Structure 1
Amino acid sequence: MSDEEQKNMLETSKQNNMSYTHIEDLSNEIFYEIFEFIDYYDLYNAFSNLNNRFQNLFNYPYLSLSTNIEHTSASEVEKYYTQFITPNKHRIVSLYFNDRLYINNSQSSYIIDSSFNRLQSLNFNRVQHKQFLSLLPTLMSLPHLSSIIVHFNDNIVNLTEIYRLIFQLPFLNKLELLAKGYSLTMSLPLNELEQHSHIKHLIINHACSLTELINLLSYTPLLVHLTCMELCKQDQYIEKITSLKIFNLTSITFHMCNVEFSNLEIFIQNIGKQLRVLCINTSQDIAYMNATRWEQLISMYIPNLRVLKFGYDEYHYQNIELASHHTLLNQFTSSFWINRGWFFQITVDIDYWPPIKVTYSISPNRPSWCHMYEETDNIKLTVDRLYFAASREYLVDKIFSFISTFHITHLTIDCEKFAYIKFIQLLSMLPNLNSLKIMSLSYFKLKCAVNQSCLMNNKIITLEFQSFIENIDLEKIQFFIDLCPHMKYLQVKCEHTFNIESILRYILLKNNTKFNFFCLWVPITNDIMIKQLQIMINHEKLLIQHYEIKRTTDKIYLQWNN
């Protein structure tokens, strides 16, 4: 590019930047939409006395208002309620209460009644369950109330009455309920009546048994999304769920599932036909690690499943031995899983305090340019916090030996304190690696890193760095590039954009014949940035071969002939 062309490009950029749009140029309709995302109190302070136009906008009778009541004293709450809530009951669509003292029916000014005829969403944080119970009957008269989020701050023994009354709310579409208690129970009977709730999104942020969950679901036949914090272990065996009629459920998440796999199978067999998303974390019952049983369950009873996120946790204090269920884990890499885009991963958390946690998981694959170089029938390994006390070295060695029995092709390392010797040891035990991702270089010391000739025959072809902060990291990156003679793809994630030219210059000067695909992951990219990089590459002759440079929102891709 000639000097004249560069000058014209910069002049055009300056002219484009001289075109301004003022906030006053926006239409009233746009302001109404913006106001819906701002708290009423903030709107009042910002716009009520600004000018006539904004005063009229603010007083528009059909403007939907949201408000957050989180003052520190009862007097402040009463003042806020009197000045802002009461005069605007007919305009408020969302109310957020952030303290236990705000719901008190003995004070008539705080009552939520039928005057809130546009109220759609109620959010109660840190409320006592008795106060919430006293409010529930008054909510029956609200014609548009579709969402309730309630977090109780006291210990509760029984949630039966709370759920019974909530299920009677005529227009409720979403419910999120958080409760705590050592012996929390729900004794709702199985619903055998025609009357039912219209809830479509249910979030149960408390522990419950599978039997209690089944009874709850009998009241919500229209349910679409279900999330449960914990399914408790129960002794009784679930034989049949003949009376449960739920036909729209497409998404289930169990953050901790402690029921036996055989019970979960029966549950899924009865509600899984339309299921598209299933997320489960569990431990203890090794039956969950049986890939064949999962394949049969999915093929026969969850034919529409598109997203599966599954995690099984093991904890090791003293030793780890290869058990029979470990030998079958490679079955999770068969064509059944690969064809559905579900990939198996092992995550090892080597913390400085026992136990060592090993998680076996299935998750959807995330598309990336570098995946064109990866094998499909692979197992990905993530090692968190590669740091250990000398007294635990024997256990760490046993973990590494255990890991090496699997066909690991992708390794992600997150090193809070880089145990370099152990890192090299781990690499030498994984001969099938074709992809290496390093989360941080902060603790890696070059003076400790001696190039290991025993690793020079590795098969690594993709190399990624998730955190580049200082220019000194370039030397560390170069060490790993030299460690991977077969590399084809390099990706570097930068915290800032000001140093991308120096990064690109350094990489190309030293490595343009070693690989031919480079990705810079930056906070944001634009066309001017691409032009400047092109000018630098051409002017400094960093690449004499034909090359192509592209960008997305936050990535710059550079590929050249090698």
Structure 2
Amino acid sequence: MGKSFSSNQPRLELLPNELFIEIFQYIDSTDLRNFKGLNKRIHDIIEALRIDINVHRMETVNTTFLSAFNPSQIIRLDMRNPWSSMNLTSMMKLRSLTLDCGCLTRKQVDQMTTLTLPYLERLSVHNATLELQKLLLATIFRGEHFPSLKICQLKLKPTHDLKLCNTNRLPNNTVRSLTINSKWSWHEFEFLLNQLPHLRRLEINLSELYSVSVTSIHPRSSIKNLRITLNDPLNDLKKLLKLTPNLVRLRIRGSFGSSSALEHFNEIAKVLSDLVPGLKYFDCELYSYSWEGSNVQNIRWLHRLYKDVQCLWGQHRNQCYATDINTYPTPNEYECEYLDESVF
């Protein structure tokens, strides 16, 4: 044993490459660059690694460490800080990309709609402008720039309603999950379903009533998970669930206004039983403002999936019936600042 680990023999060199690779997987990229140049063997091991980079918004971040890695090494990039030298076109092996548009240069924003990332599976974009929103969606729908994309999340500036150029194009059969916080009309929603026929998870905000019968929209049996904000939760839900008969998980957000929450939950229970009998998970964030007291116990008896419904109280008799939050959200767009008792 004395010969195997003599003081003249560098013990680090006895470790196999596989162990170095395992160790380096647990080291943050900001620290990993310090190992480069330690010796040729370790340098070569690091050069062959696949790198995850995660830089969230901070007051001061030195991004010079990123130049220590070959862009083709980066497979996951979560960048929410300015990085003026970032060139997305050189990161051809990216599999996951998260960006904050507020931190990008104009050139970097332009790259997002023109580059091709053949291995990208997950795309998340925050604070996108209205124009970039349209270009990104058009790029995603076409599919040739991100042929492997499965999950897409667009956190857009909420001041705009979504307006698309509904030109005829081939559907994208790859995308499985889509999250967009901008408002969609029912007409745009129909176009979306046609463009992404194999969606399994969808999170959107529907703002307008559909002017044409929803019977013209073909049901989408692939959608299993739906998170939806509705202008009229009860009536819109009746139309929407006809299009998603195989739904397994549902979350709805909206407002009953001054109407009875108990009556609305009763009607929704009937809709759920009739249209999505296979539903297993139900969450809600439904607002109400009235002098009516909490009906939580009665609501819970209406449907087997209502067991977690609770009533959260805001100011001025504002209520939120919810399953997956514990504090009344404030501010929110449904809050009534003053209730006239004579109205009730």
SS class of match (2:120): coil
CA deviation after TM superposition for structure 1 residue 308, in Å? 0.4
1:357 to 306, 318, 322: 318
1:333 to 282, 300, 314: 300
CA distance 1:127–1:239, change in 2 (3 Å): farther
CA distance 1:295–1:29, change in 2 (3 Å): farther
SS class of match (1:167): helix
Structure 1 unaligned blocks of 5 or more? 1-22, 103-108, 365-381, 385-394, 399-562
State the match for 1:58 in structure 2: 46
Q: TM-score, normalised by structure 2?
A: 0.73
Structure 2 unaligned blocks of 5 or more? 1-11, 329-338
State the match for 2:226 in structure 1: 252
State the match for 1:268 in structure 2: 241
State the match for 1:220 in structure 2: 196
1:346 to 304, 311, 314: 311
Deviations 1:377-416 (A, max 9, x none): xxxxx898xxxxxxxxxx9xx9xxxxxxxxxxxxxxxxxx
1:166 aligns with 2:133: no
CA distance 1:241–1:130, change in 2 (3 Å): farther
Give RMSD over aligned pairs: 4.1
- 1:96-495 equivalent positions in 2, closer than 5 A: 96-99=78-81, 102=84, 110-113=86-89, 115-125=90-100, 126-127=102-103, 131=107, 134-140=110-116, 142-152=117-127, 155-156=129-130, 159-168=133-142, 169-180=146-157, 182-189=159-166, 193-228=169-204, 230-232=205-207, 234-237=208-211, 239-244=213-218, 246-254=220-228, 256-271=229-244, 273-284=245-256, 286=259, 289-315=263-289, 320-321=291-292, 332-334=299-301, 337-338=303-304, 340=305, 342-349=307-314, 354-361=315-322
CA contact (8 A) 1:201 1:223 kept: yes
CA contact (8 A) 2:76 2:97 kept: yes
CA deviation after TM superposition for structure 1 residue 49, in Å? 5.5
CA contact (8 A) 1:231 1:257 kept: yes
State the match for 1:67 in structure 2: 53
Structure (1 or 2) with the larger CA radius of gyration: 1
1-structure distance, mates of 2:105, 2:195: 21
SS class of match (2:303): helix
Total equivalences in the alignment = 313
State the match for 1:42 in structure 2: 31
CA deviation after TM superposition for structure 1 residue 307, in Å? 0.6
CA contact (8 A) 2:113 2:136 kept: no
CA contact (8 A) 1:70 1:98 kept: yes
CA distance 1:159–1:207, change in 2 (3 Å): same
CA contact (8 A) 1:124 1:149 kept: yes
Residue type of the alignment partner of 1:135: Q
Deviations 1:53-72 (A, max 9, x none): 7545424x2x2112246799
Deviations 1:22-59 (A, max 9, x none): x99997546535644644232112x3366777545424
CA contact (8 A) 1:176 1:202 kept: yes
CA deviation after TM superposition for structure 1 residue 313, in Å? 1.7
SS class of match (1:159): helix
Deviations 1:215-262 (A, max 9, x none): 22322112112223x433x254452153445332111123x4323521
CA contact (8 A) 1:276 1:304 kept: yes
CA distance 1:253–1:52, change in 2 (3 Å): same
CA contact (8 A) 2:153 2:178 kept: yes
| Identity, % of aligned positions | 21
2-structure distance, mates of 1:30, 1:242: 59
1:94 aligns with 2:82: no
CA distance 1:136–1:246, change in 2 (3 Å): farther
- 1:24-35 equivalent positions in 2, closer than 5 A: 29=18, 32-33=21-22, 35=24
Deviations 1:344-403 (A, max 9, x none): 422334xxxx43432234579xxxxxxxxxxxxxxxxx898xxxxxxxxxx9xx9xxxxx
SS class of match (2:242): helix
CA deviation after TM superposition for structure 1 residue 146, in Å? 1.2
SS class of match (2:282): strand
Residue type of the alignment partner of 1:84: A
